[in-house]
């Protein structure tokens, strides 16, 4: 059948990505949104957008929206209902075209335990595993506790000793139940120095199947990918052929149609590979495959759903160049990659280098706690891996970005690291690299640029003496000054005097010249170095674009109002979320490292532990409370810290 009108049952960059291809194919694009997304860019880009009273997980609401809008097909995107066999069946029962694999395949592969059995039947190697936690000895330590219906790292725990297994199983079950409505878990042997390599497959309803090579997705935090690439730096032609054959053998055995991914774990020492799971949907990292093959995967999904044959064979697939994707998240690498929230005061790509950006946000977008905190995917493609890495790092550094804590600086530094360039991208990459990798560059110059941009802004706003020379005085007065506080609390004070030639003296040795000023940038020379810097003001914060990053400068008022401080010994929420467990009471003696409060954010648990020993003086929150970043949770009386009577 011909698809003329497509409802995308998703949000953000996912919806925008599908809209882009569907629109190019002449289809009307219909979006859905909840109240939290009412102002999101994807809503305005849809030809029609329908409000959902409930959530993106409401099957009945999605079907009703599709029917009322006149859609004749539904694309689920990735995440949410994309791997929900019940939703796929409901779409087909409503007389609509489902863009994805058959519901029976989704159901079979959605159960990771059943999927492993099918892989074994198809002759594909798997890791030792067990559905019974009592069989941990047969699996062997270290091991992973994994959610049977899981994905995205949710419901997953690494366990290195038998004593920790019980708590890990309990936590995994809670996360799995919350995220997927299914609390089943299983154990799988954990290979510490390994790589996640996945094979992209495409199949039509006539039995044609091809693979589009591999993607390596080993660089992860909390078992979630943040840097992906194709091809893998360790996969040669022979290994690619073997992995591709294994993926296609499993796909044929289950009657696979549409786009999908077969994931493998590769032992970095032996290069042996083992089946992990099948993702019966488009993957977040699909752009790197598109870049090196020239094949639009969303277009292929829509063609296949419309009944068209693939029209090509495995020998027709060609690969060119190297592509790398970095996922830009609102999160704090220095705080264990905890999610962040806020308003994006600035979000504008640099003019060069040109890279692909799949984004769900723009300047002014609100980053809340309701959904995954990914802001954008940035993808580079170049003839060589090193060139692609450098190009992507430069694009990240030049992105004018401010208002929310992000992993941008970490990503750029990781891409420029020797470990990445050498291809040492195993799953322990971040543990080896560390998170304190961002360059402390340009701070002094940023403060100078911020001060002189602010001077220009104040002068532009001054209607009293619009024709007077800048900083004109009729007497000798002290130098002008501005004081800023950086994100880490570091202060910068800038003093300057205007000379008759229009330049500024910063001190006896330093000078600056403003060649041009606007409300969005400044053309300035500082100590003989000229540059044009984007500047965005958001309230009392200036976001100044420098060579390596965007530096946020909070303008410190001359007479700051008294501030409030957390009580001594106070523990604050490291991120916004819901309190799901409080483990201590007032008056209780706690030891350093003891678990105090459990928060849930983005369907994952985060533990708040005691930084020192002491007595709990106050508990401010309770189970069910919603807290913002920085909210006080409890206080510990450090004066009584110790082991007892002494």
Instruction: Tell which residue, 368, 397, 366, has the closest CA to residue 380.
Output: 397
> Which CATH number goes with the domain that contains 177?
3.30.1490.20
Residue from 287, 354, 296 nearest 24 by CA: 296
User: Domain containing 583 — which CATH number?
Assistant: 2.40.50.100
CATH of the domain at 326: 3.30.470.20
**550 in a structural domain:** yes
My answer on whether 261 and 404 are in the same domain is: yes
Q: How large is the average pLDDT for residues 175-189?
A: 87
Q: Which residues contact 113 (CB under 8 A, 6 or more apart)?
A: 131, 148, 184, 186
Please tell me the total count of domains within the chain: 5
Helix (H, G, I), strand (E, B) or coil at 264: strand
Q: Helix or strand or coil: residue 298?
A: helix
- Indicate if 398 and 281 belong to the same structural domain: yes
Name residue 607's beta-bridge partners.
598
Q: Tell whether 384 and 410 lie within a shared domain.
A: yes
Tell me the three-class secondary structure of 429-472, residue by residue. Answer: HHHHHCCCCCCCCCHHHHHHHHHHHHHHHHHHHCCCCCCCCCCC
pTM of the full predicted structure?
0.84
- Residues in the chain, overall count: 646
The answer on 426 and 296 residing in a single domain is yes
Which is nearest to 367 in space by CA: 409, 332, 392?
332
Whether residue 267 lies inside any domain: the answer is yes
Mean pLDDT across the stretch 204-223? 95
For residue 563, what pLDDT is reported? 45
Q: Is the domain of 227 the same as that of 180?
A: no
C-alpha pair distances (Å), 12 with each of 53, 72, 298, 343, 427? 18, 22, 16, 16, 28
Q: 72 and 180 share a domain? A: no
Is there a domain that residue 589 lies in?
yes
What value does the mean pLDDT take over residues 238-267?
97
Residues 86 and 140 grouped into a single domain: no
The answer as to whether 646 is a domain residue is no
Instruction: Please say if the pLDDT value at position 645 is more than 50.
Output: no
Same structural domain, 180 and 79: no
The confidence band for 292, taking pLDDT boundaries of 50, 70 and 90, is very high
- DSSP helix/strand/coil, 182: coil
Examine the pLDDT at 491 and tell me if it is beyond 90.
no
What are the structure tokens assigned to 394, written together? 């430069």
CATH number at residue 450: 3.30.700.30
Q: 342 has which bridge partners?
A: 367
Give the C-alpha separation, 361 to 48, whole Å.
Answer: 19
pLDDT of amino acid 556 = 85
374 and 267 together in one domain: yes
Examine residue 349 and state whether it is found in any structural domain, yes or no.
yes
Residues of the domain holding 590: 570-640
Q: Which of 591, 583, 589, 564 lies closest to 621, judged by CA?
A: 583
Residue 281 has pLDDT above 90, yes or no: yes
How many beta carbons lie within 10 A of that of residue 269, not counting itself?
10
Residue 409 lies in a domain: yes
327 Cβ contact list (under 8 Å, min separation 6)? 225, 226, 227, 284, 374, 376, 377
Residue 164 lies in a domain: yes
177 plus 295 within the same structural domain: no
* Domain final residue, candidates 520, 555, 590: 555
Q: Residue 618: is the preceding peptide bond cis (ω within 30°)?
A: no
Last residue of a domain, one of 81, 99, 117: 99
pLDDT at 438 over 60: no
> What's 66's domain CATH number?
3.40.50.20
Together in a domain, 426 and 538: no
Task: Phi first, then psi: give them for residue 226, nearest 5 degrees.
Answer: -130, -20
> Where do the H-state alpha helices sit in 306-407?
385-398
Pick the last residue of a domain from 411, 433, 455: 433
402: in domain? yes
For residue 137, give the nearest of 165, 113, 156 by alpha carbon.
165
Q: Is the bond into 225 cis (omega within 30 degrees of 0)?
A: no
**Tokens at residue 240, please?**
């690619």
Q: Say if residue 13 is in the same domain as residue 83.
A: yes
């Amino acid at each position: 059948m011909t698809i003329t009108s497509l409802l995308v049952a998703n949000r953000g960059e996912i919806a925008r990505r599908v809209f882009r291809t569907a629109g190019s194919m002449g289809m009307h694009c219909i979006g859905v949104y909840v109240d939290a997304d009412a102002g999101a860019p994807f809503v305005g880009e849809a030809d029609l957008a329908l409000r959902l009273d409930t959530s993106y997980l409401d099957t009945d609401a999605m079907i009703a929206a599709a029917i009322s809008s006149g859609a004749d097909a539904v694309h689920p995107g990735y995440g949410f209902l994309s791997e929900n066999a019940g939703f796929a069946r409901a779409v087909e029962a409503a007389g609509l075209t489902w863009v994805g694999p058959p519901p029976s395949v989704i159901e079979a592969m959605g159960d990771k335990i059943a999927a492993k059995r099918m892989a074994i039947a198809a002759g594909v190697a798997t890791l030792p595993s067990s559905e019974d936690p009592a069989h941990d000895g047969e699996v062997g330590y270290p091991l992973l506790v994994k959610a049977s219906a899981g994905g995205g790292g949710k419901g997953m725990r690494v366990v290195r000793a038998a004593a920790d297994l019980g708590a890990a199983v309990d936590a995994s079950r809670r996360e799995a139940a919350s995220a997927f409505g299914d609390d089943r878990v299983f154990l799988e042997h954990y290979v510490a120095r390994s790589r996640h390599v996945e094979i992209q497959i495409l199949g039509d309803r006539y039995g044609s199947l091809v693979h589009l090579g591999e993607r390596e997705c080993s660089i992860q935090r909390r078992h979630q990918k943040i840097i992906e690439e194709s091809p893998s730096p360790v996969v040669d032609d022979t290994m690619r052929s073997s992995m591709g054959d294994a993926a296609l053998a499993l796909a044929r055995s289950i009657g696979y149609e549409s786009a999908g991914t077969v994931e493998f774990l590769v032992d970095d020492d032996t290069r042996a590979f083992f089946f992990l799971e099948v993702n019966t949907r488009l993957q977040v990292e699909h752009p790197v495959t598109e870049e090196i093959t020239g094949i639009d995967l969303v277009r292929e999904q829509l063609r296949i759903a419309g009944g068209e044959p693939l029209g090509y064979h495995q020998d027709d697939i060609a690969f060119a160049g190297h592509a790398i994707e970095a996922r830009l998240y609102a999160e704090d690498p220095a705080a264990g990659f905890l999610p962040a929230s806020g308003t994006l005061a600035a979000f504008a790509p640099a003019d060069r280098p040109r890279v692909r950006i799949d984004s769900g946000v723009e300047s002014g977008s609100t980053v809340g706690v309701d959904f995954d905190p990914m802001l954008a995917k940035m993808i580079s493609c170049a003839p060589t891996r090193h060139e692609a890495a450098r190009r992507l790092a430069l694009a990240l550094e030049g992105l004018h970005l401010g208002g929310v804590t992000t992993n941008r600086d970490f990503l750029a530094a990781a891409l420029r690291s020797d470990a990445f360039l050498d291809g040492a991208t195993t799953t322990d990459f971040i543990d080896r690299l560390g998170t304190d990798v961002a360059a402390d560059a340009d701070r002094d110059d940023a403060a100078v640029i911020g001060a002189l941009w602010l001077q220009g802004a104040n002068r532009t706003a001054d209607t009293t003496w619009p024709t007077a020379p800048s900083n004109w005085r009729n007497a000798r007065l002290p130098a002008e000054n501005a004081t800023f506080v950086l994100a880490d609390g570091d202060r910068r004070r800038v003093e300057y005097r205007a000379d008759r030639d229009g330049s500024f003296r910063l001190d006896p040795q330093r000078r600056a010249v403003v060649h041009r000023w606007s409300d969005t940038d400044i053309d300035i020379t500082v100590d003989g170095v000229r540059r044009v810097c984007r500047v965005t003001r958001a309230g009392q914060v200036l976001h100044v674009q420098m060579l390596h990053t965007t530096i946020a400068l909070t303008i410190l008022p001359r007479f700051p109002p008294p501030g409030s401080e957390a009580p001594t010994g106070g523990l604050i929420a490291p991120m916004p979320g819901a309190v799901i467990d409080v483990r201590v009471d007032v008056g209780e003696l706690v030891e350093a490292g003891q678990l105090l409060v459990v928060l849930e954010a983005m369907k994952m648990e985060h533990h708040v532990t005691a930084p020192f020993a002491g007595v709990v003086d106050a508990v401010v929150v309770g189970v069910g409370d919603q807290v913002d970043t920085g909210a006080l949770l409890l206080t510990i009386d450090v004066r009584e810290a110790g082991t007892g009577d002494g």
